[in-house]
């Protein structure tokens, strides 16, 4: 359902915050938003430039004309299925806030599985206590690389992407989160033209089969960049590209890939074939929904 054209002052002006939240929650629910009450609250906090604590302290606060206009404008965008993260320009990821922009994939909680797997491996390998090099292929906002550098203070890393705008966003996030001195960013596709060796390679590549994109939720289909979604006819094209140069990038270490539903065994086979006899073992990790979300190969040449 499209948002109604009701003027903001008619819809929300003069209401208190509780009443305004009821109106907007209903609007979002009618628009097909999955969690309308949560999203309405986030948008209200942004429109009023207040915190959740402020809202609890003064639940009867009335919206003035300008606040009503701001809240209604944000609500209309969300009812049209624009994600809250894109409306607000930021997304929480592994306890930190990342700026997002149209050129970047919106980082999602399932990708935190790759972070958890990488940190588990870093602990096993003793990398927390010594310098190490990390490569993030298709870095986007820099969520994977920046998070790992923040969690591993002796590490340095390189993030690659084919979008200069995305690389600019990743650089800005590295600066905001205090790891820019240990991060570099480069316009490259897969692993081509990247000088190794690295101890750890991570990637959340495009893995949606081309024919499935039209059926995705509007929040993904209409707002994430197509290049960050489209994995080719079977969704596995970029994995094959990465695997072709993987052994040059990580001759002795680990490579971790985020995967889509039902892709784990195929990606494991691609990685094993790519590194050949240098493959020590393959491991997988599941996300909170118990879907296999990360596939890793250990290499030793």
Cβ pair 17, 40 in contact under 8 A: no
Half-sphere exposure of residue 56, counting CA atoms within 13 Å on the CB side? 3
- Averaged over successive runs of 10 residues, the pLDDT of the chain (301 residues) comes to 51 88 95 96 95 88 91 96 96 96 94 98 95 97 98 98 96 98 94 91 97 96 95 96 94 97 96 94 94 96 86
Assigned token pair, 11: 């819809």
* Cα–Cα distance measured from residue 50 to residue 107, given in angstroms and rounded to the nearest whole number: 24
* Cα–Cα distance measured from residue 241 to residue 254, given in angstroms and rounded to the nearest whole number: 17
pLDDT of res. 59:
81
Q: Identify the three-state secondary structure at position 166.
A: helix
Q: For the whole model, what pTM was predicted?
A: 0.91
The residue written with tokens 């905001």 in the block is 176
- Radius of gyration of the chain measured on its C-alpha atoms: 21
Burial 65-91 (b: 16+ CB within 10 A, else e): eebbbbbbebbbbbbebbbbbbbbebb
Q: What single DSSP character describes residue 34?
A: S
pLDDT of res. 3:
46
Q: In whole angstroms, how far apart are CA 171 and each of 113, 142, 157, 224?
A: 23, 7, 12, 19
pLDDT of res. 226:
94
Q: ω before 197 within 30° of 0 (cis)?
A: yes
Paired sense of beta strands 155-161 and 132-137, if any? parallel
pLDDT of res. 1:
38
155-161, strands of its sheet edge to edge: 183-187, 155-161, 132-137, 200-203, 252-258, 292-300, 279-286
**Alpha helix positions (H), the chain:** 8-11, 17-30, 36-48, 52-57, 65-79, 84-88, 112-125, 143-151, 164-176, 218-221, 237-249, 264-275
Cβ pair 183, 142 in contact under 8 A: yes
């Amino acid at each position: 359902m499209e948002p109604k054209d009701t003027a903001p002052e008619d819809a929300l002006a003069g209401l208190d915050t509780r009443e305004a939240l009821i109106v907007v929650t209903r609007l979002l629910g009618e628009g097909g938003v999955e969690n309308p009450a949560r999203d309405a609250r986030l948008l209200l906090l942004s429109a009023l430039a207040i915190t959740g604590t402020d809202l609890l302290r003064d639940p009867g606060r009335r919206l003035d004309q300008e606040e009503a206009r701001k809240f209604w404008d944000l609500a209309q965008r969300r009812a049209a299925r624009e994600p809250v993260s894109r409306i607000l320009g930021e997304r929480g990821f592994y306890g930190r806030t990342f700026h997002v922009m149209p050129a970047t994939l919106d980082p999602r909680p399932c990708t935190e599985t790759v972070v958890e797997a990488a940190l588990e491996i870093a602990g096993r390998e003793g990398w927390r206590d010594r310098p190490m090099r990390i490569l993030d292929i298709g870095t986007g906002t820099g969520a994977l690389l920046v998070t790992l550098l923040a969690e591993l203070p002796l590490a340095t890393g390189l993030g690659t992407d084919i979008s200069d705008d995305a690389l600019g966003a990743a650089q800005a996030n590295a600066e905001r989160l205090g790891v820019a001195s240990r991060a570099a960013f480069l316009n490259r596709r897969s692993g081509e033209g990247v000088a190794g060796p690295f101890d750890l390679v991570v990637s959340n590549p495009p893995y949606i089969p081309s024919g499935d994109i039209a059926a995705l939720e509007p929040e993904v289909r209409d707002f994430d960049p197509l290049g960050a979604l489209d994995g080719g006819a079977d969704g596995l094209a970029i994995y094959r590209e990465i695997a072709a140069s993987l052994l040059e990038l990580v001759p002795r270490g680990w490579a971790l890939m985020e995967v889509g539903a039902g892709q784990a065994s195929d990606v494991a086979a691609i990685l094993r074939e790519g590194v050949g006899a240098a493959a020590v073992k393959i491991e997988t990790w599941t996300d909170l929904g118990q879907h296999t979300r990360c596939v890793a190969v250990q290499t030793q040449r």
